[in-house]
């Protein structure tokens, strides 16, 4: 008989309170899901939204918003999204481009988001069941 697996299903999301969103056009590279909590940036050349890149260029190094839901592999090209542009988020749920190798969310991202109206707060999740 196989050992039972323990699964902690986290039912929370990235939004903490007072979320305000705006419709935008996102340019997807394809090949991977864009997960909830992904930090977003605006590519200066096209004015379209892409994932934030630590140490990027052309506007991609400036965090301006957060994706509040997961988009299963959208393929390559432009897709409509609704991006969070102000409010409070759970800091521990922010994500830096998982498909591009990721990174650790630090003061650069936190301060950058705050400049655009998004406050990232440390939150103790009390809604996560402890079934271990």
pTM comes to: 0.85
The C-alpha atoms of residue 104 and residue 3 are separated, in whole angstroms, by 34
Q: Is residue 4 part of a domain?
A: no
> What does DSSP assign to residue 118?
E
Q: Is residue 1 part of a domain?
A: no
Residue pair 113/66 in contact (Cβ under 8 Å)? The answer is yes
Q: Is residue 2 part of a domain?
A: no
Q: Is residue 108 part of a domain?
A: yes
Quote the number of domains for the chain: 1
**Residue 40 belongs to domain with CATH number:** 2.40.300.10
Which range marks the domain in which residue 73 is found? 17-121
Greater pLDDT, 128 or 63:
63
**Residues in CB range of 22: below 8 A, 6 or more apart:** 65, 82, 83, 85
Please say whether the dihedral angle defined by the alpha carbons of residues 59, 65, 66 and 71, taken in this order, is positive or negative.
negative
pLDDT the model gives residue 1: 55
* pLDDT tens-digit readout, 80-104: 999 999 999 999 999 998 666 678 8
Other beta carbons less than 10 A from residue 55's beta carbon:
8
Q: Is residue 12 part of a domain?
A: no
* pLDDT tens-digit readout, 40-53: 999 999 999 999 99
pLDDT the model gives residue 52: 94
* pLDDT tens-digit readout, 96-128: 986 666 788 999 999 999 999 999 998 876 665
Q: Is residue 129 part of a domain?
A: no
Could you tell me what percent of the chain has a pLDDT over 70? 82
**Residues in CB range of 32: below 8 A, 6 or more apart:** 73, 98, 99
């Amino acid at each position: 008989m196989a050992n039972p697996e323990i699964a902690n299903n986290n039912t929370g999301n990235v939004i903490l309170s007072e979320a305000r969103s705006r419709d935008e056009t996102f340019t997807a590279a394809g090949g991977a899901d864009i997960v909830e909590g992904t930090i977003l940036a605006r590519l200066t050349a096209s004015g379209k939204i892409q994932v934030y890149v630590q140490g990027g260029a052309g506007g991609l190094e400036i965090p301006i918003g957060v994706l509040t839901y997961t988009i299963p592999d959208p393929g390559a090209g432009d897709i409509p999204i609704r991006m969070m542009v102000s409010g409070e988020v759970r800091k521990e749920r922010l994500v830096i481009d998982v498909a591009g190798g990721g990174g650790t969310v630090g003061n650069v991202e936190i301060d950058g988001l705050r400049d655009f109206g998004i406050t990232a707060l440390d939150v103790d999740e009390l809604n996560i069941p402890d079934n271990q």
